[in-house]
Amino acid sequence: MKTPLFVFLKGLGMYTAVTLPAIAIPPMYLISLFYAVVYGWFAFAVFTVIWLITKRLTLSHPVRMLLLTVAVPVSVAFALQMIEETDGWDDVWHAGELLLFPLAAVIAGWIGLAVSSEQIKDVCKQEPGEDILDLAGTP
């Protein structure tokens, strides 16, 4: 279970770097980071479910990575919709240039996923369930 968490945290770190040009308007940058931290957990939950499904299937590493690559924008879209559902922002899908922030989140997620590719490959070679709650064991 810690592998999707590490992918998420790497993606969150990359998001802070990818959106750094928005620091020109500090309130916008800080609000985007707030939304990423608060609503990013919805994306993490969706990504984790997809991760657990792909981990259980017998897939080659490239196919698994392709499915997880598709899971990133799906997860971000779900988190974006949850912003609207929780009244954090009205009509999120018609936000104009502010949709660049979810795009940045997808790009950051893909970078986090790419950086974790070898870790994902190693974890998926383990026995099923071997890393479920083993926070002190192998990655």
DSSP output for 25-64? SHHHHHHHHHHHHHHHHHHHHHHHHHHHHHHHS---HHHH
Is the pLDDT at 126 greater than 60? The verdict is yes
- pLDDT for position 134: 47
Q: 48, 40, 45: which is closest to 108 by C-alpha?
A: 40
The beta-strand segments (E) located in 1-135 are: none
- 4 burial level (CB within 10 Å; 0-12, 13-18, 19+): buried
Rounded Cα distance, 89 and 48, in Å? 25
Residue type, 81: Q
- Domain range annotation of the chain: 2-124
pLDDT, tens only, 67-124: 999 999 999 999 989 988 887 677 777 777 778 889 999 999 999 999 988 888 888 7
pLDDT, tens only, 31-46: 889 989 999 999 999 9
Model pTM score: 0.82
